[in-house]
Chain A
Amino acid sequence: MTIDDLMLQRGEWLQGTGPMSDVVISSRIRLARNLANYPFRNRAGESDLAEILRTVSEAALSCRSCKDATALDLDPADPLDRQVLVERHLISRQLADAPGPRGVVVTRGETLAVMINEEDHVRLQALRSGLQLTTLWGEINTLDDELAERVEFAFDGRLGYLTACPTNLGTGIRVSVMLHLPALKLTNEIVRVARAAEELRLAIRGLYGEGTDAVGDFYQISNQTTLGKSEEEIIEEFGESIIPRVVEYERAARQALIEKRPVQLDDRIWRAFGNLRTARIISSEETLLHLSHLRLGIATGRFPKMDVKELNDLIMPTQPAHLQKRTGRTMSGEERGALRAAFLRERLHHLN
């Protein structure tokens, strides 16, 4: 499997399926692990990193969980290919940009990924669309067990899994749920969600995680505490209590918009449609902003021209790296903007 093969797929986080998919875009669980007999990544030499990359890649490829997986060596890879993987949520920006031997093992369905030599030696990731934390935990827990039979992880009976940064110590688990919250944003109720999240010691971030702003009303909520609770407790709290409440809140805000401000709501939706099908130059941020409003239109039944899958199929191809990869060369921002607008017009012109 190559990057080109991946480009032919929809991308797991954009399947548009799974529980609560009217609001929940995707769920992700990540586990941080380190090999016991090496310095952490930031203090490891080039030869250590190369050895870790080889050891973990081979170990991962021999796991049953990874039977259809491919190992991608990222250091010699084209920067554009690395960016494609970031846009597909298969690797972090940090892994894409950091120097030195590093890589990722990705399954064909893009649901499991093993990042090697990111901040920690190993970062396992399980990803699925919709709210599917229990399924993800089953998958990533199995992969983690399989890996632990092949390599020795740094572990302490008292502190748990030892990580390069003490903020990941213990379980090493990061549970993240990507939510589409346009109605809470429009009504400014999002401020209250952010405040509540802060009180619950949760982080709210944008589409691409750490250090990114929320673009197009897509928000990522994740846990920050990794020690003192078991993985199951953290997941249950997320999947049974926190996320369903935010989902209910967003649904109520959507209902309120339909009942109290239907004209304003329709105005947003149809202007978004108008912009997307007439623009001659458009950035990826502006595209996401309009697509977010169209998605709200689909979810509230006020924009019947498309379904969520058709809408999602406009997101990945308009991302900068995917756009360039498909054209086969790197382009300036302006050139990309024109190409993106042309792509959107072509996909939307038949809808009247």
Chain B
Amino acid sequence: MAIPCQACEKNSACVHLTDIRPSGEAVERHLCESCAMKEGVAVKPHTMSATVLEEFIKQGLGLKSLAERVCPQCGASFKDFHEQGLLGCPYDYTAFADLLKPIIEKAQEGAARHTGKTPGPSDENARRQATLSRLQRSLKQAVEAEQYETAARLRDEIRTLEER
């Protein structure tokens, strides 16, 4: 039998979550698609391509402000990138991260993450990779053992290491 959505109590739930509270307590939640979207836990697949964006810009439909967003480091706008196909500085990847995401995925066969070499001494990189896979193994074990407090800590640790 389908579980009803816990938010609207009308539709049947299709998004099932386990939230880990700051206290470490695990809470299960069941939501329908529209309530999940409202709460920002699920999003419609991103389909905005460069050409669609161009149309939006031309028609000036609401996206005007997005195209005119400016990188605080180099002063290039997203429109500049759109016209020239070239970014203004390395920081553009941060300043326009959300707008570039679908463009990068389209150009790179859906890939979003670098797995190749890193600058600097290679042993440091190898150590980092080794730590990462060790943490990921522990996380998997913790989840399987339903040790959510440990899992949450490991997840944060992995995130921090990945951001570096």
Evaluate contact between B104 and A169: CB separation under 8 angstroms. yes
CB distance from A194 to the nearest CB of B (A): 19
Evaluate contact between A159 and B114: CB separation under 8 angstroms. yes
Evaluate contact between B108 and A40: CB separation under 8 angstroms. no
B61 at interface, CB cutoff 8 A? no
Point out the residue from B89, B114, B116 that lies within 8 Å of A39, measured CB to CB.
B89
CB distance from A49 to the nearest CB of B (A): 14
* Residues of chain B in range 133-164 having any CB-CB distance to chain A below 8 Å: 162-164
B74 at interface, CB cutoff 8 A? yes
Q: A-facing mask of B96-138, CB < 8 A → 1, else 0?
A: 0000100110011111111111111010000000000000000
CB distance from A285 to the nearest CB of B (A): 30
Point out the residue from B85, B90, B113, B120 that lies within 8 Å of A227, measured CB to CB.
B113
B84 at interface, CB cutoff 8 A? yes
B52 at interface, CB cutoff 8 A? no
Compute how far the CA of A159 lies from the CA of B111 in the bound complex, rounded to whole angstroms. 10
CB distance from A298 to the nearest CB of B (A): 39
Evaluate contact between B104 and A166: CB separation under 8 angstroms. yes
Interface centre among B86, B104, B111 (most CB of A within 10 A): B86
* B: number of interface residues (CB 8 Å): 33
Evaluate contact between B111 and A228: CB separation under 8 angstroms. yes
The residue on A at minimum CB distance from B85 is: A165
* Residues of chain B in range 54-91 having any CB-CB distance to chain A below 8 Å: 73-76, 84-90
Residues of A within 8 Å of B89, CB to CB, are 38-40, 43
Point out the residue from A119, A145, A171 that lies within 8 Å of B116, measured CB to CB.
A171
Evaluate contact between A231 and B104: CB separation under 8 angstroms. no
The residue on A at minimum CB distance from B118 is: A155
Evaluate contact between B86 and A40: CB separation under 8 angstroms. yes
Q: From DSSP, what is the main secondary structure of chain A's interface residues? A: loop
Residues of B within 8 Å of A228, CB to CB, are 108-115
Evaluate contact between B88 and A39: CB separation under 8 angstroms. yes
The residue on A at minimum CB distance from B111 is: A228
Interface centre among B113, B116, B164 (most CB of A within 10 A): B116
A239 at interface, CB cutoff 8 A? no
Point out the residue from B110, B114, B120 that lies within 8 Å of A170, measured CB to CB.
B114
The residue on B at minimum CB distance from A153 is: B119
Evaluate contact between B85 and A158: CB separation under 8 angstroms. no
A36 at interface, CB cutoff 8 A? yes
* Residues of chain A in range 146-200 having any CB-CB distance to chain B below 8 Å: 148, 152-162, 164-167, 169-171, 173
Compute how far the CA of A170 lies from the CA of B113 in the bound complex, rounded to whole angstroms. 8
Q: A-facing mask of B18-53, CB < 8 A → 1, else 0?
A: 000000000000000000000000000000000000
The residue on A at minimum CB distance from B105 is: A227
Compute how far the CA of A166 lies from the CA of B86 in the bound complex, rounded to whole angstroms. 8
A26 at interface, CB cutoff 8 A? no
Residues of B within 8 Å of A39, CB to CB, are 73-74, 88-89
Residues of A within 8 Å of B162, CB to CB, are 157-158
Residues of A within 8 Å of B110, CB to CB, are 228
Point out the residue from B88, B90, B114, B115 that lies within 8 Å of A154, measured CB to CB.
B90
A141 at interface, CB cutoff 8 A? yes
A271 at interface, CB cutoff 8 A? no
Residues of A within 8 Å of B84, CB to CB, are 42
The residue on A at minimum CB distance from B73 is: A39
Evaluate contact between B111 and A43: CB separation under 8 angstroms. no
Compute how far the CA of A218 lies from the CA of B6 in the bound complex, rounded to whole angstroms. 64
Residues of B within 8 Å of A153, CB to CB, are 119
A261 at interface, CB cutoff 8 A? no
The residue on A at minimum CB distance from B89 is: A39
Compute how far the CA of A36 lies from the CA of B107 in the bound complex, rounded to whole angstroms. 23
A129 at interface, CB cutoff 8 A? no
Evaluate contact between B90 and A34: CB separation under 8 angstroms. yes
Residues of B within 8 Å of A144, CB to CB, are 117
Which 10 A-B pairs have CB atoms at the shortest separation, nearest pair first? A228-B111, A160-B114, A154-B90, A171-B116, A227-B108, A148-B119, A43-B88, A39-B89, A162-B90, A230-B116
Taking beta carbons and an 8 Å cutoff, which residues of A are in contact with B?
Answer: 34, 36, 38-40, 42-43, 119, 141, 144-145, 148, 152-162, 164-167, 169-171, 173, 201, 225-231
Given contacts A156-B90, A157-B163, A228-B114, 10 further A-B contacts (CB under 8 A): A34-B90, A148-B120, A156-B114, A159-B93, A162-B93, A201-B109, A225-B111, A227-B112, A228-B109, A231-B116
List 30 A-B pairs, Cβ < 8 Å: A36-B90, A39-B73, A39-B88, A40-B87, A43-B88, A141-B117, A144-B117, A154-B90, A155-B118, A156-B93, A157-B118, A157-B163, A159-B93, A165-B86, A165-B87, A166-B104, A167-B107, A170-B108, A170-B111, A170-B116, A171-B116, A173-B116, A225-B107, A227-B111, A227-B112, A227-B113, A228-B110, A228-B111, A229-B116, A231-B116
